[in-house]
Every structure is written in structure tokens, then in C-alpha cells.
Amino acid sequence: MSWESKVKKTIPYTAGEQPKDRNIIKLNTNECPYPPAPGVLDAIDALKSRASDLRLYPDMNATALVDALAAFYQIDSSKIFVGVGSDDVLALCFLTFFGSGDPILFPEITYSFYPVWADLYKIPYKQIPLTPEMTIDPFEYAPGLTHVKNGGIIFPNPNAPTGVEEPLSKIERILRANPDSVVIVDEAYIDFGGTSALPLIDRYDNLLVVQTFSKSRSLAGMRIGFAMGNEKLIGYLKDVKFSFNSYTMNLPSIMIGKAAVEDRSYFEETTGKIVKTRERFKEALKELGFVFPDSKANFVFAAHPDFSGDYLFTELRKRNIVVRHWNSPAIREYLRITIGTDEQMDAVIKALAEITATAQNTNQ
């Protein structure tokens, strides 16, 4: 027996590639094409005068950042938890809320990190199929009706990688049917025209809403995410966090994150621009014969009836355009294309027009 038999073996999450070549049009990980708010630059300058504070451990409650979020969302600071990207927050949520031993539920087509965390923490799970329209059927999440006792529920809204947004009425149905489970709504993509479930946290004490600075606040490189829910949920999350690693949010993240939240008009301007570009892009895709569920996120999940996903992905790549493509059977015909600038999306449309016009039909 070697020491390796004692090692925890995991199959890690596969993140989208981060190509080094700056000439590539990178539309594969849903980053924002615009720079962070101008105040972020001031915060970086201000950090110089606080360099000596780096001797010290940071504020483990990230109070300055939490208070800025509380002011932005008009809720009490006690209802907010921040972490190192929403992946960090979500991983802690799995550890904190999903330990009952009953299977947790999430959609069959969804953020592929969920089964990875479940496996890591040995949490059983059941994946619920989407409807043919790629929507969530709340009936499937109702334990009384389906006789499936669950240990918790998580789904993104809008869902990823489909981009489909569920109305709050549906989320409320799931919440009402599951008062004995924590329901986590992962709102990584909510700021591109979606309606947040945040106002529901005062009505449902089992609801946790998770968001990120990586998409709508142009700070994927800073790694900031946060959860909002009632004080009790947040308290449990903090207890686990402080049993794991107290000082995850460093001083620069706290200061830079605060600056980003404080500039509401820049946030509205950039998210508004992305929404406009997305709608224009959808029209152009339709004209080329692509099909896709309507997206409320900063990406579109599109397939073409005459060309395989793999072929389109490879052809785009040859033209220095990187999008996301998965080889799993249910979604292999689709590309997930992040919304970049107008100019970038024009280049994608031009490339797709060329590919679909000149290439052989790969499905024949």
C-alpha cells in the first residue's frame, strides 16, 4: 500500500481556457469586455499609501466592502457575506447547508461546478432535467409531489450555460414547496436585465442569493463574490468560513471591491451596453439560422441546425475567436458565446457568416 491510497482523489472542475495571445477575441468565460469602474483606479492609487498596512492581517469581516454592498442593495450588513469569487462563496455554501445526507437537487444542464463540489464534500445529488424549452419545472423540485426528499436546492438564475431566466413566481413556488431546505439562487448573471430574487430574502428565511463581481462589475481578476440572505443563514456561513480560513479577503480586494460598488452609474452604463449588444447579436445570429433559448445573461447559447458545435467551435478558433464548447451529449451542438464589445460581436457574426456560407454541411 502506498501513501497514494490515503489521498482524496477528485475530478476537478474544468475552467474555460485563458489564452495568452492578446490578439484572440476571448468570448469563452463570460468576462466583461469593459474595464472596471474609474474609481477602481483611484483605489489602486490609494493602496500605495496603505502599503504598510499589508503587514497586518486584513479585516476578516471585510466590513468596508460589506457596508458598500449593504448601501448599494439597501439591506442590512448582517445579511451579507463576502468571499473570494462566488465560487468560494458557493463552495462554502455546499459545505454549510447541504450536509443532511439527503440528495441535493440542481438542473441537469447547469453550472458544471455544482457536481464537483457535491463530489468533493460527498454530498449526494440528483440532477433534474430541464423542459424541452430549457426551463426549470418547479414541480420537479416539490418534495410533496415528487416524493423526493432533498437536502437542498441550487440553480443559477439566469441558468448557465443556457442564459434562460426564470420568473420570480417560479422561484417562489420552489421556495414555498421547500421550507425545510436551503434554496440557493446563483445570480452570477442577473445584472444583464434579469430580476433578482433579493427582495424575497425577507419573506423566505431559507433563501440565499449569491452574486459576483466577475461579470457585471468587470473584476474577475480580483475574485470577489457575495451571498445575501437572512442573518441566521449568513451567521452559519460565517461560522463555517471562520472554521476554515478566516482571512480570505485581502486588503486590496476589499478596497477595490468597495470602489467598484460605489459607482452605480458606471455599473448601469456597462451592463446596459452589454444588454444592447446582446440583443443586436441575437438578431444577427437568427439571420444566420442559429437557434438559441432567449438569453438574459451576458452570453448566448446557440446551435445551428446544419453544423455541429464542434465544427463551429474549431472554425471560430481558426479565426482567433475563442468561445466555450462542451463535449457532453446533451449540449454538444451548442456554443456558449460571451457578449463582448459591439466590434467583437461584429467579428463573430462575420466569421460565422463566412463559416456557414462556405463550409460543407457537417451534418450530412
Does 116 interact with ligand PMP (rule: CB under 6 A)? no
CA dihedral sign, ordered 193, 199, 204, 206 = positive
Give the cell for residue 50.
Answer: 496603505
Distances 157 to 59, 154, 299 between C-alpha atoms, Å: 31, 10, 13
Residue ranges in 50-195 assigned as alpha helix (H): 63-73, 85-97, 113-120, 143-146, 168-177
Q: Which residue has the cell 450530412?
A: 364
Query: Could you give the angle at which helices 251-262 and 38-49 cross, rounded to 10 degrees?
Result: 150
Give the number of C-alpha atoms closer than 13 A to the C-alpha of residue 61, restricted to the C-beta side. 11
At residue 116, φ and ψ (nearest 5 deg) are -70, -45
- Can you tell me which of 87, 165, 191, 315 binds ligand PMP, judged by CB under 6 A? 87
Cβ nearer to ligand PMP, comparing 86 with 150: 86
Contact between 248 and ligand PMP by CB under 6 A: the answer reads no
The footprint of ligand PMP on residues 7-66 (CB under 6 A) is none
Decide whether 261 or 347 has the Cβ nearer to ligand PMP. 261
Name the minimum Å distance from CB 362 to ligand PMP: 28
Residue 162 or 351: which CB sits closer to ligand PMP?
162
Q: Which of 345, 227, 341 is nearest to 284 (CA)?
A: 345
The answer to whether residue 186 forms part of the interface with ligand PMP (CB under 6 A) is yes
Residues 138-177: x where in contact with ligand PMP by CB under 6 A, - otherwise, as a string:
------------------x---x-----------------
Under the binding rule (CB under 6 A), the answer on residue 220 touching ligand PMP is yes
Size of the site for ligand PMP (CB under 6 A): 12
Q: Judged by CB under 6 A, which of 95, 128, 136, 188 binds ligand PMP?
A: 188
- Please tell me whether residue 263 binds ligand PMP under the rule CB under 6 A: no
Instruction: Calculate Rg over the CA atoms of the chain.
Output: 21
Q: Which residues bind ligand PMP (CB under 6 A)?
A: 85-87, 111, 156, 160, 186, 188, 212, 214, 220, 225
